Structure 1
Amino acid sequence: MADKQHLYPVGVVWTGNRGDGTRTYQGYGREHEVRVAGKPAIAGSSDAAFRGDATKHNPEDLLVAALSSCHMLWYLHLAAQAGVVVTAYVDSAVGTLAERGKDGRFTEVVLRPLVTIAAGGDAERAARLHEDAHHACFIANSVNFPVRCEPRIVIEAV
């Protein structure tokens, strides 16, 4: 059987030309839009630390968000299959980027999901599903730095 391939066409359009293009490093904006057909555009910029607009999403935000949401979606899928009823899921993920001179790279991302399960649910089983979700996540399987998960499970009160 042949492997499946999925394509994800994304357009990125620079919107930060302030009239003189990139004539000077300080003179151009880092603003851009991420466009995917049929979906709302995402207003982006570079991180404020790199002369960007802090009110807009930056590539580093989006990478951490991709890891977090991929893990969550796999977790919810696996929980449904395992009979674990999840009633709420909130992640407070943090990515660490290290700069060395002009180079930079992510050194890790830590996911910290707070998962609420229905009363009478199996908290240990719910916690174990995070390991399976991590191994299933396409994004986590694609990065070259550690992605750790530190979940907390809460059982709803009766």
Structure 2
Amino acid sequence: MKKHKYTIQIDWTGNEGDGTLNYKSYTRSHTISVNGKYDKIMGSSDPSFLGDKTKYNPEELFLASIASCHMLWYLHLCSVHNIVVTDYMDHTTGVMQEDENGSGKFVAATLHPQVKVAQISMIKKAHELHKEANTMCFIANSCNFDIGHDATITT
């Protein structure tokens, strides 16, 4: 069995002089980067946890991972099945449940892809391929909750 290894770098940029002296003495700002890639992703925590609302938080990046992995598998499967996709956009939603002790976990995610295909005759198969893409998606297979799909497919 093949194993793929990935390495990212997280750099905390939120030390405002006193480090983590107390819960409010620092910001949650950080950068996410991969060696050899051009841009860094500016990250923070969710504003509910004193984060910067203008930066990406881990929960958003988690949903982005689910959505982008699904999209990549979906486009691959469409190409294999001669379904010509001309446009793809998704507004993924997710629900994280916070427990009384402050921990939490995602309990739901739903993809809402809006897909355009070249011909009306492709629409039925294009809908069916979302299920197969979910089965193949590396990220979806790593989740402990079901990922829903509410696709709209047009020409």
TM-score, normalised to structure 2's length?
Answer: 0.96
Asked whether 1:103 is paired with 2:103, we answer yes
Letter in structure 2 aligned against 1:154: T
Distance in 1 between residues matched to 2:120 and 2:108, nearest whole Å: 35
Contact in 1 for aligned 2:42/2:55 (Cα 8 Å): yes
Runs of 4+ in 1 over 3 A off after TM superposition: none
Distance in 1 between residues matched to 2:120 and 2:111, nearest whole Å: 25
C-alpha offsets along residues 59-102 of structure 1, whole Å, 9 cap, x if unaligned?
00000000000000000000000000000000010010111211
Q: Could you say which residue in structure 1 is the equivalent of 2:144? A: 144
Q: Could you say which residue in structure 2 is the equivalent of 1:45? A: 44
Distance in 1 between residues matched to 2:120 and 2:97, nearest whole Å: 43
Q: Could you say which residue in structure 2 is the equivalent of 1:94? A: 93
Contact in 2 for aligned 1:84/1:121 (Cα 8 Å): no
- Using the aligned pairs only, state the percent identity: 45
Uncovered stretches (5+) of structure 1, i.e. residues with no partner: none
Select 2:27's aligned residue among 18, 26, 29.
29
Q: Could you say which residue in structure 2 is the equivalent of 1:119? A: 119
Uncovered stretches (5+) of structure 2, i.e. residues with no partner: none
Farther-moved stretch of structure 1 (111-120 vs 53-62): 111-120
Distance in 2 between residues matched to 1:121 and 1:6, nearest whole Å: 38
> Structure 1 residue 120: deviation in Å?
4.1
Letter in structure 2 aligned against 1:48: P
Letter in structure 2 aligned against 1:72: M
Contact in 1 for aligned 2:120/2:154 (Cα 8 Å): no
C-alpha offsets along residues 85-140 of structure 1, whole Å, 9 cap, x if unaligned?
00000001001011121121100100010100003442110100000000000000
Contact in 2 for aligned 1:64/1:94 (Cα 8 Å): yes
Q: Could you say which residue in structure 1 is the equivalent of 2:68? A: 69
TM-score, normalised to structure 1's length?
Answer: 0.94
Letter in structure 1 aligned against 2:127: A
The alignment partner of 1:4 has SS state of coil
Aligned residues: 153
Q: Could you say which residue in structure 2 is the equivalent of 1:82? A: 81
